[in-house]
Amino acid sequence: MSILVNQNIRLLVQGITGNEGLFHTQQMLYYHTNIVAGVSPGKGGDWVLDGKVPVFDTVKNAVEVTDANASVIFVPAKAAADAIFEAADANMKLIVCITEGVPILDMMRVKEYLSTKNTRLIGPNCPGVLSPGECKVGIIPGNISIPGNIGIVSRSGTLTYEVLLSLYKAKKGVSTCVGIGGDPVKGMGFTDVLELFEADAKTDAVILIGEIGGNDEEAAAEYISRKMTKPVAAFIAGLSAPPGKRMGHAGAIIEGKTGSAEGKIEALRNAGVQIAEFPEKLAEMV
């Protein structure tokens, strides 16, 4: 079973006529994701990918014609917040924003607005969601995983792919893989996704991939200790980061012990989480 996305999704691609949007739309179609529409202002009435996907000027028009219920966003950073607002106003149940470099102030406005909506946001600056054998929304490679009972939630795109490949080589399957992104202000966090995995009858174990910066892993540890009945294994990137040095990742901000790899590992261990020394070791733990 999967969380967030499945075969019943009716996906809309915002920014479908751009290079990234067009390429990844094709990849999602190869995975048999049900893409019903694209949105690109000024291109309404066109069709892309040999007439497979109609293009609309606005999300509202696309929803009226196709009954789309989810959106994936491939627009430039300066337009990402408006794209999220537009999708939320069209009552999208799920919005996945792949765009990186979205200004923090824009995301603060987005978070405030979405608190009044019945919409889930994943991202920005994330690889998206993959339910192996069912649906792919975003840029996670679909050929390195098989269906199974292991849930994955991760802040790091690259480490997500590495862990998926390790599980694939070990012939262990995944229920859903959710890349939440590493930006300091984003949509769903670890705890939000862990709640869905805990409620999913077909997910028997969970892998959590974290990194330095922020306190999302500490919040996840608290949730795991109080509510989680399923085993969790984790890897936290950044143990070798030089103390006091600002790292390149947008979310890698450390203040004192808060946000450090050591602090996150300690919190998760205290919650009963198995900690992997290397990401490829996670496949042996679940």
Contacts of 191 (CB under 8 A, 6+ apart): 216, 219, 220, 223
Q: Are strands 94-97 and 128-131 parallel, antiparallel or unpaired?
A: unpaired
Catalytic-residue membership of 249? yes
Integer angstrom CA distances of residue 206 from 94, 174, 231, 246, 286: 22, 9, 6, 30, 8
Instruction: Of 140, 135, 126, give the one whose Cα is nearest residue 74.
Output: 126
Among 24, 120, 249, 264, the one annotated catalytic:
249
Instruction: Of 121, 91, 90, 93, give the one whose Cα is nearest residue 107.
Output: 121
Burial-class residue 115 by CB neighbours within 10 Å (0-12, 13-18, 19+). Answer: exposed
Instruction: Of 239, 190, 195, give the one whose Cα is nearest residue 215.
Output: 190
Instruction: Of 195, 155, 201, give the one whose Cα is nearest residue 178.
Output: 155
In whole angstroms, give the CA distance from residue 58 to residue 219.
37
Q: Per the structure block, which two tokens stand in for 258?
A: 């808060």
| Catalytic sites, residue numbers | 249
